[in-house]
Amino acid sequence: METAAKQLQPWKGIINQYARYLPVSDATPVITLCEGNTPLIPATNFVEAIGGKFELYLKYEGLNPTCSFKDRGMTMAMTMAKERGAEVVICASTGNTSASAAAYATRANMKCVVLLPNGNIALGKLAQALLYGATTVAIEGNFDDALRIVIELGETGKVEVVNSINPARIEGQKTASFEICDQLGRAPDFHFLPVGNAGNITAYWKGFKEYYSVKKADRLPRLFGFQAAGAAPIVDGAPVAQPNTVATAIRIGNPASWQGANNALKESKGHIAKVTDAEILAAYKQIAQTDGVFVEPASAACLAGLIKCHQAGMIPEGSVITATMTGHGLKDPDNAIQNAGFEPTIVEASKEAVMKVIGL
């Protein structure tokens, strides 16, 4: 049916935009919330503040429909699940995957079950899973425990797993690399991103390579990934039994796409390192207060990493750098309020009282 929306909204989501690079056909029942097309924001003040002589652009994935990059993978995973006739989808999550799965499952008229590590989910993400109507199970364990259970449940054949072990997720997420190249008019020299379960670094590398191979990008970037110091299995070379970090999104001790990350790092001549919670929170605050970009702590891990790389002289002058801001800061209001460094001043309701406080 011809609808008015065809006129009103030229952007119809990443599957419509990049169909020729995705495993879909004209008959595929696309499940979309019009995700993607997120801005690439120049972070000039941040670069100046750290004394950098390079260009930095933030791929602000917090502006996706459920406020994280997961929507790119979820439109594909849910579309493929629908095409196969699945009725129930399931995922383990540190919060964003569950929010996205819950929204897209609703859209697809499918039942959604999410397994979360009890007590270690940012408030906004929990709110999303509940409001979208997912069956929300908080397990007394961490993300790695939840993913193990989900994989076991997937083996029963009764549920469709929509974690990034599902290849459709990687296919969808690779479109962020396409958008970056389309927006910049070239590929960056470096791409920075946080690493948790390692699906995204795997997807970005696949995307950059594919765009390069069809000559839509002029070069291949080096991928620089960052883990939180208390949850850095790839950096340390061994699973972490009790991962811990303020950046709950990447509180993961045994990443499912470890091999994918290793390939991306090796093939792109990349780099992976860890950053402390203090460094993450400092970068988190800095990017909000220099450039007005509010991200969640996990996203800021790669900015903390950029500061360190810059200080170590690893970034040549004139480099073009992109960095994925994986999730919106409003996902985690507790961390924002605790770390802002400012508190509201409470005064009586008079002009004089306000003038006194603001120094007029």
Q: What residue ranges bind ligand F0G (CB under 6 A)? A: 68, 70, 93-97, 164, 194-200, 249-250, 296, 298-299, 326-327
Q: Closer CB to ligand F0G, residue 18 or residue 226?
A: 226
Cβ 159 to ligand F0G, closest distance in Å? 17
What is the sign of the dihedral through the CA atoms of 318, 323, 329 and 334? Answer: negative
Q: Closer CB to ligand F0G, residue 31 or residue 146?
A: 146
Query: Which tokens go with 276?
Result: 């402390």
- Between CA 348 and CA 335 the distance in angstroms is 28
Cβ 78 to ligand F0G, closest distance in Å? 15
C-alpha angle 271-275-277 in degrees, rounded to nearest 5: 160
At 192, is the secondary structure helix, strand, or coil? strand
Q: Closer CB to ligand F0G, residue 13 or residue 124?
A: 124
Cβ 285 vs Cβ 341: under 8 Å: yes
Cβ 200 to ligand F0G, closest distance in Å? 3
- Between CA 157 and CA 152 the distance in angstroms is 10
Q: Closer CB to ligand F0G, residue 124 or residue 221?
A: 124
Cβ 336 vs Cβ 329: under 8 Å: yes
Q: Closer CB to ligand F0G, residue 62 or residue 221?
A: 62
Cβ 172 vs Cβ 202: under 8 Å: no
Q: Closer CB to ligand F0G, residue 148 or residue 216?
A: 148
Alpha helical stretches, state H, the chain: 4-8, 14-18, 44-49, 70-83, 96-107, 123-132, 143-154, 167-173, 175-184, 199-213, 233-236, 258-267, 277-291, 297-311, 333-339, 351-358
Cβ 137 to ligand F0G, closest distance in Å? 14
Cβ 198 to ligand F0G, closest distance in Å? 5
- Between CA 95 and CA 282 the distance in angstroms is 22
Distances (CA, A) of 358 to 190, 231, 290: 42, 42, 21
Cβ 250 to ligand F0G, closest distance in Å? 5
Q: Closer CB to ligand F0G, residue 68 or residue 335?
A: 68
Q: Closer CB to ligand F0G, residue 86 or residue 249?
A: 249
Cβ 280 to ligand F0G, closest distance in Å? 11
Cβ 71 vs Cβ 104: under 8 Å: yes
Task: From 328, 329, 331, 330, select the one nearest 64 (Cα to Cα).
Answer: 328
Which residue(s) pair with 88 in the sheet?
A: 111
Cβ 313 to ligand F0G, closest distance in Å? 27
Cβ 253 vs Cβ 247: under 8 Å: no
Query: Which tokens go with 40?
Result: 């690439």
Q: Closer CB to ligand F0G, residue 215 or residue 297?
A: 297
